[in-house]
Chain A
Amino acid sequence: MAPRAVRVGSARFRMDDLLQTTINGIASGSIYALGAIGLSLVYAILKLVNFAHGDFMTLGGYVAFAVNVSLGMPLVVAIAAAVVAVAVLGLVTEELIWRPMRKRGAGLMQMLLLSIGLAFVLRNLILLTWTGESRKLNVDDTASYGIGIGRVSLLQILVIGIAAAALVGVGLLLTRTYVGKSMRALSDSFDLAEVSGIDTKRVVTYTWILGGGLAGLAGVLAAVFTTLTPNMGWTLLLGIFAAIILGGIGNPFGALVGGLALGLVQEWSTNFVEPTYKEAIGFAVLILALLFRPNGLLGHATRTG
Chain B
Amino acid sequence: MTDADTILHVDGLARHFGGVKAVDGATFSVKRGSITSLIGPNGAGKTTAFNLVTGFESADAGRVHFAGDDVSRLRADHRARKGMVRTFQLTRVLGKMTVLENAMLAAPDQPGERMWNVLTPRRWRSREAEVKAQALEVLDEIGLSEKAGDYAATLSGGQRKLLELGRALMARPDLMMLDEPMAGVNPTLGRQLLEYLDRLRTERGLTVLFIEHDMDVVMGVSDEVVVMTQGRVLMQDRPDVVRKDARVIDAYLGGADE
Q: Which residues of A contact B (CB under 8 A)?
A: 300-301, 304-305
Contacts and interface: CB of A to CB of B under 8 A. Distances in A.
11 contacts: A300-B17, A300-B18, A301-B17, A301-B57, A304-B51, A304-B56, A304-B57, A305-B47, A305-B88, A305-B89, A305-B90
B87 to A, nearest CB: 13
Contacts of A304: 51, 56-57
Interface in B39-78: 47, 51, 56-57
Contacts, number: 11
A252 B57 CA distance: 27
A79 B77 CA distance: 54
Contacts of B89: 305
Interface in B11-56: 17-18, 47, 51, 56
Given A300-B18, A301-B57, A305-B47, 8 more contacts: A300-B17, A301-B17, A304-B51, A304-B56, A304-B57, A305-B88, A305-B89, A305-B90
Interface size class of B (residues with CB under 8 A): under 10
B75 to A, nearest CB: 14
Contacts of B57: 301, 304
Looking at chain B's contact residues, is the secondary structure mostly helix, strand, loop, or mixed? loop
A282 B18 CA distance: 30
A164 to B, nearest CB: 30
Nearest to A303: B17
B41 to A, nearest CB: 16
Interface of B: 17-18, 47, 51, 56-57, 88-90
Nearest to B89: A305
A305 B51 CA distance: 8
A246 to B, nearest CB: 21
B48 to A, nearest CB: 9
Shortest 7 CB-CB contacts between residues of A and residues of B: A305-B90, A304-B56, A304-B51, A305-B47, A304-B57, A305-B89, A300-B18
Contacts of B90: 305
Contacts of A301: 17, 57
Contacts of B51: 304
A301 B18 CA distance: 10
Contacts of B17: 300-301
A291 to B, nearest CB: 16
A193 to B, nearest CB: 20
A304 B15 CA distance: 13
Contacts of B56: 304
A105 B63 CA distance: 43
A305 B89 CA distance: 7
A301 B88 CA distance: 18
A305 B22 CA distance: 12
A209 B15 CA distance: 40
A304 B76 CA distance: 13
A300 B89 CA distance: 22
A278 to B, nearest CB: 35
B178 to A, nearest CB: 15
A304 B90 CA distance: 9
A143 to B, nearest CB: 48
A301 B56 CA distance: 12
A286 B47 CA distance: 33
B76 to A, nearest CB: 10
A299 to B, nearest CB: 12
Nearest to B88: A305
A304 B58 CA distance: 11
A43 B115 CA distance: 37
Nearest to B57: A304
A1 B88 CA distance: 67
Contacts of B18: 300
A304 B89 CA distance: 10
A300 B47 CA distance: 19
Contacts of A305: 47, 88-90
Nearest to B179: A305
Nearest to B51: A304
A290 B22 CA distance: 26
A166 to B, nearest CB: 30
A104 B182 CA distance: 33
B186 to A, nearest CB: 24
A300 B18 CA distance: 9
